[in-house]
Structure 1
């Protein structure tokens, strides 16, 4: 089996590549606009915005895993969301038709649901609140149109992960863990809100599993259960670091949100990016809890969520890994 990982030089793609490199029956290539630190010999340079570059790199009759996306909160210009996420998906569909691709695995996002009710599953209402969620859903529609052209022979797997974390990632979860580890963490709100999370190794394992699914459209939220409350998450991390699990000073949400607005203004004036923003405070204090039909697929995640958190904390804040590269995401 030939597998093309579009966007494979990134955080999830590197983990998936590592898994596929150990599979004797799979040959894989990475298609990305950036080189891969771990598998440079596997990379074919291409940009999903250029249909010609995709034509030159996608392998005939391959399985395509599509990971490339614009995803940060502060992408500028905003048109990049449409150019990369939507037009990139449409370009890939054109090339898939030309190359005889019969299976596409697409990583979308739970952001397609917007501020979703607690327990939203794959049947939840599509109501994105930002350009990222909107364009990811429009990409889903493009891939569904591709699959519908030959439904008896084409396989489309849409994976909607929640927030992803793991070793070497420099996204929102890492920023939270770093604040806790530094001792400078301040809880905003009562900490009773719950967060669904997804460990990168488990997502990579599911993507590997997904490439074997039969023709049809398969949609799965990717969530590693059980969900943590913010209080439980902070207390668990503190215990892993040998600290007290008790949480001291708490900042009311309104105060935290106004501080975020101050940083928004500073970012607008200076053009700089700050770790604090009003939308990040809002996300931090909101419930973000999803359900998933993963158990119906037959897939079993290889790492429990508690073990995944311990692995990440140990790797980032207890052991030394200064020689390893990192990935910057949201």
Structure 2
């Protein structure tokens, strides 16, 4: 497959993927609402997937589409019906694009979903590809609905479907929860994480981009669902400590009892934040490693320290 279209090409993952593919043997196009900070060697198509009446130009003559575009990281929700807003962007627009991909003869459609489809936390064992979906938020519900719609839409067609559900993706320019954590560590304020012993699976931007690139070509990826991570799970406290070491800081970790944290989060309406900081969410990525012979690169702690150093240099 030589011609690849990346939707959401201006984004954190999309831009990095475009850079990687453009340095390889691919002809890369990026689909964006408005082109900005273009990657050298990438051709851009300005299309709004939610409102455009004709998506034929967006899918013409491509071998593979990597669909990253969508609605996420909404810090201040203003829509009267958030679930419907997520559905329009993450499900409706995705299925319209996929339908055009089928009509245009695209050979493979890679959909970047979310581990949130499986749920907000794990208990006895990590999530794997056989775990029953249990989406915990509007965003995750819309992603699951898109997955189910894609399976029905692409079944029996010449367009192969690959679904990838990553956990938290980290990097120096990461948006969402990781960006907030990075800023919090940089303040040097005391953090109520002294009693945290959870385990979280995370994936570096480099590892996720490498896995997506592998899925573009690998014949065994066709028709498959994958959960991917760095492989070495980490507690929130360890994550903070690694970032702080990179920044040259020594964070003060306050040993606050879990029951008090839980009560406080409920009173403040921050149950989701409590779950993300103090509960476990683990992923079993052995299928990706066995079926595609994929091996995540690097060391999670070293990667986090490097991000801390970069953050300190930029401040």
Give TM-score, length-normalised by structure 1: 0.84
- CA contact 2:62–2:106 (8 Å) conserved in 1: yes
Structure 1 unaligned residues grouped into runs of 5+: 265-276, 323-330
Q: 1:211 to 1:185 in 2, by over 3 A?
A: farther
Tell whether 2:124 aligns with 1:130: no
Structure 2 residue aligned with 1:294: 288
**Post-superposition CA distance 1:183-235 (Å, at most 9, x none):** 11412472101111111121111111110022731111121120111232233
Aligned equivalents of 1:227 and 1:84: distance in 2? 31
- CA contact 1:70–1:84 (8 Å) conserved in 2: yes
1:313 to 292, 300, 308: 308
**Post-superposition CA distance 1:28-47 (Å, at most 9, x none):** 11112132323386221112
Tell whether 2:204 aligns with 1:203: no
Moved more, 139-148 or 255-264: 255-264
Structure 2 unaligned residues grouped into runs of 5+: none
Aligned equivalents of 2:311 and 2:183: distance in 1? 9
Q: 1:49 to 1:244 in 2, by over 3 A?
A: closer
Q: 1:188 to 1:146 in 2, by over 3 A?
A: same
Structure 1 residue aligned with 2:38: 38
Aligned equivalents of 2:103 and 2:36: distance in 1? 26
- Give secondary structure in 1 for the equivalent of 2:311: helix
Q: CA deviation at 1:248?
A: 3.5
Q: 1:34 to 1:286 in 2, by over 3 A?
A: farther
Q: CA deviation at 1:281?
A: 2.4
Structure 2 residue aligned with 1:108: 113
1:163 to 168, 191, 194: 168
Aligned equivalents of 2:14 and 2:119: distance in 1? 25
2:219 to 196, 214, 219: 214
Q: 1:36 to 1:221 in 2, by over 3 A?
A: farther
Moved more, 253-262 or 189-198: 253-262
Aligned equivalents of 1:71 and 1:189: distance in 2? 30
Give the structure with the larger strand fraction: 1
| Count of matched residue pairs | 304
1:83 to 74, 88, 91: 88
Q: CA deviation at 1:263?
A: 5.5
- Give secondary structure in 1 for the equivalent of 2:30: strand
- CA contact 2:8–2:14 (8 Å) conserved in 1: yes
- CA contact 2:247–2:311 (8 Å) conserved in 1: no
Trace 1:180-191 onto structure 2 (pairs within 5 A).
180-188=185-193, 190-191=195-196
Q: CA deviation at 1:139?
A: 0.8
- CA contact 2:98–2:109 (8 Å) conserved in 1: no
Structure 2 residue aligned with 1:304: 299
Q: CA deviation at 1:123?
A: 0.8
